[in-house]
Amino acid sequence: MIALLIRDMRLAMRAGGGFGLGLAFFLLVAVLVPLGVGPESATLAKIAPGILWVGALLACLLSLDRLFALDFEDGSLDLLVTAPIPLEGVVAIKALAHWAVTGLPLTLVAPVLGILLNLPDAGFYWLVVSLLLGTPALSMIGAFGAALTVGLKRGGLLLSLLVLPLYVPTLIFGAEVVKRGAEGMATSTPLALLAAITAGASALLPFAAAAAIRINLR
């Protein structure tokens, strides 16, 4: 299992592995939105939590279609399914690797983009905390979506359509944490709900995703 984690992370780091592209996309969204919305800092400060969360979510989403598709295309997925490790474990590990090369870096650079978007000082801490708690759920839910669409030709956009509605609760609670944090209000309720979503998704979705992969392979 650890071998799988190492392999997936190594593949992401190697040339063409796509590490960094998610980050770059996040950065681009954070730059484009002020360009579209206009430079008033009060407006930007107000929408910063939401935009940063939406950006993180889209960046996460766009790297998802590689999650199982590459393994499917070169035949590794067949071999992994017949290997002596449970497919649920494979899914969970792959989601974890995805998080480690996407969600975690996003969390770490988010404060920089917070500066770009005039996020109030009090919000930075909560931005990092909420992303740290929430992005694992994004990876796990995304893994489920990727499992549903594995094997479909160019499933990328369909994947977005399936996954984005599932992201709604995570997004709402995540952005809410930052918004409240930035305004100095209590954040414990949304934070707890965010944690609950992550925990629930990590506990249950691997089973659904593994089932979807088995269905898709047969």
Considering only residues 109 to 148 of the shown chain, the ones binding another protein according to CB under 8 A are 115-116, 118, 144, 148
**Which of a second copy, another protein, none interacts with 81 (beta carbon under 5 to 8 A by kind)?**
another protein
Query: What is the C-alpha to C-alpha distance for residues 76 and 52, in angstroms, rounded to an integer?
Result: 35
**Which of another protein, a second copy, none interacts with 96 (beta carbon under 5 to 8 A by kind)?**
none
- Based on the shown chain and the rule CB under 8 A, indicate whether residue 10 belongs to the binding site for a second copy: no
**Which of another protein, a second copy, none interacts with 10 (beta carbon under 5 to 8 A by kind)?**
another protein
Q: Is the dihedral of CA 91, 94, 95, 96 positive or negative?
A: positive
Give whichever of 25 and 99 is closer to another protein, judged by the CB atom. Answer: 25
**Which of another protein, a second copy, none interacts with 99 (beta carbon under 5 to 8 A by kind)?**
none
Give whichever of 176 and 206 is closer to a second copy, judged by the CB atom. Answer: 176
Burial (CB count <10 Å: 0-12, 13-18, 19+), residue 42? exposed
CB 26 within 8 A of CB 109: yes
Residue 218 structure tokens: 């047969």
- Based on the shown chain and the rule CB under 8 A, indicate whether residue 33 belongs to the binding site for a second copy: yes
- ∠ Cα 182 115 100 (to 5°): 90
Given 9, 128, 164, 195, the residue binding another protein (CB under 8 A): 164
- ∠ Cα 112 27 130 (to 5°): 60
- Based on the shown chain and the rule CB under 8 A, indicate whether residue 13 belongs to the binding site for a second copy: no
Say which residues have a Cβ less than 8 Å from residue 88's Cβ, sequence separation at least 6. 206, 207, 209, 210
CB of 7 to another protein, least distance (A): 5
Query: What is the C-alpha to C-alpha distance for residues 186 and 130, in angstroms, rounded to an integer?
Result: 13
**Which of another protein, a second copy, none interacts with 66 (beta carbon under 5 to 8 A by kind)?**
a second copy
Say which residues have a Cβ less than 8 Å from residue 91's Cβ, sequence separation at least 6. 143, 147, 205, 206, 209, 210, 213
- Based on the shown chain and the rule CB under 8 A, indicate whether residue 58 belongs to the binding site for another protein: no
Instruction: Give the residues lining the site for another protein (CB under 8 A).
Output: 2-4, 7, 10-11, 14-17, 20-21, 24, 27-28, 31, 34-35, 38-41, 44, 71, 73-85, 115-116, 118, 144, 148-149, 152, 155, 158, 161-162, 164-166, 168-169, 172-173, 176, 189-190, 193, 197, 205, 208, 211-212, 215-218
